[in-house]
A and B are shown apart, each in its own frame.
Chain A
Amino acid sequence: TQLLEQSPQFLSIQEGENLTVYCNSSSVFSSLQWYRQEPGEGPVLLVTVVTGGEVKKLKRLTFQFGDARKDSSLHITAAQPGDTGLYLCAGAYTNAGKSTFGDGTTLTVKP
């Protein structure tokens, strides 16, 4: 059973465009993380959102946690080729140990 669904699975855009990636679940999480992974490397943590309705900004990246803490979105403004990579969302429960990962969104930003 896939508890976290990400969409779209693939996204190819031109430099300068905006985009949004979605992470949806029927489960309520204590927190949700977003990671970016470049080819041949391990995922790198971008952000953690904890409170329902929370919005966090990381330069051109805006992360939002849904009010019910079941879903999240990642919005990138004016995408750059350096944003290219696999974006993964993961839901976690406090003190529970393991996280639940979505299948990821592969983003390609063309110069």
Chain B
Amino acid sequence: DVKVTQSSRYLVKRTGEKVFLECVQDMDHENMFWYRQDPGLGLRLIYFSYDVKMKEKGDIPEGYSVSREKKERFSLILESASTNQTSMYLCASSRRVTGELFFGEGSRLTVL
């Protein structure tokens, strides 16, 4: 079975802490994505990567950074967490040509 695995299902952090969310896919997909999902706001793209060490800003990149050192791994970093970053974070991967996204189970982050 194809799989996208996110490192943590639930995290609770304090304001100002650095947060790492990791995502690994086993499908040899070129593209990887980080979204956040909030009630009433839908899925919003934070960053995506179409190749190792390559990244592009999505719709809401402020306050976030990403790292893709290996093809299968895409990390989302919150340098200094704030309460408005409390959200469900979803990682996804896809082949470059299809647009079909395969999502992880999500990481629910609470920032106190």
Contacts and interface: CB of A to CB of B under 8 A. Distances in A.
Interface residues of B, number: 24
A103 interface: yes
Contact of B48 (A33, A41, A48, A97): A97
A102 B42 contact: yes
Interface in B68-103: 90, 92, 96-103
A109 to B, nearest CB: 21
A43 B90 contact: yes
Contact of B42 (A30, A98, A101): A101
Contacts of A95: 96-97
A51 interface: no
B97 A97 contact: no
Contacts of B90: 42-43
A82 B90 CA distance: 23
> 4 closest Cβ contacts across the A-B interface?
A92-B99, A42-B103, A103-B42, A101-B43
Given A31-B99, A43-B101, A103-B42, 14 more contacts: A33-B100, A42-B4, A42-B92, A42-B105, A45-B100, A45-B102, A48-B98, A92-B98, A94-B99, A95-B96, A97-B31, A97-B50, A101-B42, A101-B43
